[in-house]
């Protein structure tokens, strides 16, 4: 086995250790805490998790698919702006939008205060929806996760040909029937892929459900570990949650089995866009403007208002240290993830084979696993290694090593690699895939060795992909909460953890400064993605013989 293949196999094996540790916990004998959980709250965890996933699935599908179809097939005032504005909720972590709406819509919030002041109501004299509930969590998660469905559905609609819709219309199908019978089935694989991403993020969420008091697996794992002090029972809960993730992945792959569509013929005409006016244009604008308004603009405005009132008390040396900790941790994780991604990607390119492909797939599995589960899977083996090493050093040399792994940022960085390596790896692989073998052969014909081809040919072409990979992981780490909350060293805080702690104490206005900083960091990749959408243009097809051009206004492609 060559060194490249051996190194990737070892790295992939290390990265799958947390998942294997959690999965192996089901073989442990059930303790008193586990039996107590099984008899009391496990059924609530299962039911609430299923209801949460079902509600988010419905919400993200309705918002994502409808807005994607409207921005692709229709033109109305503001449609081009809304194409990228619909991405803005990607910058808003779910737990932060939960904090803002809870502070705004609670009984003591400004909305209910205004209602009571206007109509003279008192407590009990009016009904107002309870935001801190399972339904509230569904709405919050749907508002920030629908862009996953929107992006992939929009891309699938843009790739469809107008020929299929023309045939449907000649058979007597109206616009709605054509969408339901032709366009939607053809886009189903992409929509299911986007939905699976949204549901994985739903399973991984901790801050929203914890703040709203919803009993699901992520909150149960945290309470079992820190409240009941039983790491084994927490691992067994994580194993049950891992079963949900595995089921979701298998269902997603099964649903896309054989669902492949292609256009027959040498030409593929883009979908004809319809210009809307009057009430139809107003309705389309409202349908596309409401999700970013509720999912980003209003929460960001509330955070900004709170920050402007409280920044003098919040922005101090302690806040500066939080920024330094967060940026340093995110930058270190992003660079380490990029290095590992390059190792895996180039092993697959230079030493292709079953071993390299298998290592890449294993290394990419962590993105589907919630941060809470990964944290449990990291802490258990790292604590065992620390205790074993400390005991050996005490017996052999009379020296205590302390917690070298589980008590430092080492455990946290390792958890980030397991969780977010797939983000960097997919981006790097996409960039390397655009570099053809002919380019490598041209470099070798000039006398370059393999490493010189990589440095002189590949590096300039990969600059954009590498920057994107670093940026995406950086922002993901900045927003990550559950794994950071569990694995952070004693006395080490980040912006996400500080916002969570203040919000847990109902000090929402004080939490706004840290939350707004996280949102500002999340805006960076959204803006980059928006610029790429604005720059990418769909090709204008040659008009069919004997017919005038039907597309005078070709929408920008995502």
Higher pLDDT, 442 or 416: 416
Q: What is the pLDDT of residue 169?
A: 67
Does the pLDDT of residue 304 top 50, yes or no?
Answer: yes
Higher pLDDT, 344 or 549: 344
Domain hosting 41: range is: 17-91+138-262+270-289
| Average confidence (pLDDT) over 169-187 | 68
Q: What is the pLDDT of residue 174?
A: 64
Asked whether the beta carbons of 356 and 5 are under 8 A apart, the reply is yes
Q: What is the pLDDT of residue 415?
A: 94
Number of domains making up the chain: 2
CATH number of 437's domain: 1.10.3720.10
Whether residues 161 and 223 fall in one domain: yes
Please count the CA atoms within 13 angstroms of the CA of 355 that sit on its side-chain side.
15
In angstroms, the CA 548 to CA 225 distance is 68
Does the pLDDT of residue 229 top 90, yes or no?
Answer: no
Burial (CB < 10 A; 0-12, 13-18, 19+), residue 345, is: buried
160-199 CB burial, b ≥16 within 10 A, e <16: bbbbbbbebeeeebeeeebbeebbbebbebbbbbbbbbbb
Whether 122 is in a domain gets the answer no
Whether 117 is in a domain gets the answer no
Asked whether the beta carbons of 31 and 245 are under 8 A apart, the reply is no
Whether residues 314 and 280 fall in one domain: no
Does the pLDDT of residue 5 top 70, yes or no?
Answer: yes
Instruction: Tell me the pLDDT of the chain averaged across its residues.
Output: 83
Whether residues 436 and 380 fall in one domain: yes
* Lowest-pLDDT range of 28-37, 99-108, 259-268, 330-339: 259-268
Helices (H), 16-109: 17-24, 32-40, 42-73, 79-85, 94-105
H or E element, residue 275:
strand 274-275
Whether residues 244 and 340 fall in one domain: no
pLDDT in tens, 500-558: 999 988 888 899 999 999 999 888 888 777 776 666 544 444 444 444 333 333 333 33
């Amino acid at each position: 086995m060559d060194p490249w293949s051996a190194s990737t196999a070892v790295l992939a094996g290390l990265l799958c250790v947390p998942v294997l540790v959690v999965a192996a916990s089901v073989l442990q004998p059930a303790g008193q805490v586990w039996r107590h959980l099984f008899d009391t709250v496990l059924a609530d965890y299962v039911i609430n998790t299923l209801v949460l996933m079902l509600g988010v699935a419905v919400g993200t599908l309705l918002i994502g698919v409808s807005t994607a179809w409207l921005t692709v097939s229709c033109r109305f005032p503001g449609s081009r702006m809304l194409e990228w504005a619909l991405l803005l909720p990607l910058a808003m972590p779910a737990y932060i939008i939960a904090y803002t709406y809870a502070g705004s819509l609670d009984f003591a919030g400004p909305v209910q205060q205004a209602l009571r002041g206007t109509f003279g109501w008192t407590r009990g004299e009016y009904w107002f929806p309870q935001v801190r509930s399972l339904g509230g969590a569904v709405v919050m998660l749907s508002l920030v996760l629908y862009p996953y469905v929107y992006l992939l559905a929009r891309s699938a609609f843009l790739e469809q040909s107008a020929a299929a819709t023309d045939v449907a219309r000649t058979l007597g199908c109206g616009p709605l029937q054509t969408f339901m019978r032709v366009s939607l089935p053809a886009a189903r694989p992409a929509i299911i892929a986007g939905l699976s991403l949204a549901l994985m993020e739903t399973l991984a969420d901790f801050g929203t459900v914890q703040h709203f008091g919803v009993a699901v697996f992520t909150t149960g794992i945290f309470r079992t570990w820190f409240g009941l002090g039983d790491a084994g029972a927490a691992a067994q809960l994580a194993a049950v949650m891992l079963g949900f993730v595995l089921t979701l992945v298998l269902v997603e792959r099964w649903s896309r089995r054989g669902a492949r569509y292609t256009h027959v013929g040498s030409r593929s005409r883009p979908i004809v866009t319809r210009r809307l006016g009057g009430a139809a244009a107003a309705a389309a604008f409202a349908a596309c403007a409401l999700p970013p308004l509720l999912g980003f603009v209003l929460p960001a405005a509330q955070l900004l208002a709170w920050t402007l009132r409280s920044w003098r008390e919040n922005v101090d040396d302690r806040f500066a240290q939080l920024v330094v900790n967060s940026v340093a941790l995110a930058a270190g994780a992003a660079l380490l993830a990029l290095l590992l991604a390059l190792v895996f990607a180039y092993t697959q390119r230079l030493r292709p084979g079953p071993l390299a492909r298998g290592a890449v797939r294993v290394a990419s599995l962590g993105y589907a696993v919630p941060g809470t589960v990964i944290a449990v899977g990291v802490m258990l083996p790292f604590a065992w290694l620390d205790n074993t090493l400390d005991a050996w050093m005490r017996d052999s040399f009379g020296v205590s090593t302390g917690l070298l792994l589980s008590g430092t940022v080492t455990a946290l960085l390792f958890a980030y690699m397991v969780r977010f390596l797939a983000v960097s790896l997919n981006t790097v692989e996409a960039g390397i895939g655009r570099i053809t073998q002919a380019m490598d052969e041209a470099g070798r014909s000039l006398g370059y060795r393999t490493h010189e081809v990589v440095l002189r040919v590949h590096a300039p072409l990969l600059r954009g992909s590498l920057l994107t990979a670093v940026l995406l992981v950086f922002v993901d780490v900045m927003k990550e909460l559950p794994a950071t909350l569990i694995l952070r060293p004693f006395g080490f805080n980040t912006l996400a953890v500080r916002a969570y702690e203040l919000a847990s104490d109902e000090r929402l206005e004080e939490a706004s400064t840290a939350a707004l900083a996280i949102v500002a960091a999340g805006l960076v990749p959204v803006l980059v993605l928006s610029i790429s959408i604005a720059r990418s243009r769909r090709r204008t097809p040659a008009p069919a013989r004997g017919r005038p051009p039907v597309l005078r206004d070709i929408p920008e492609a995502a």
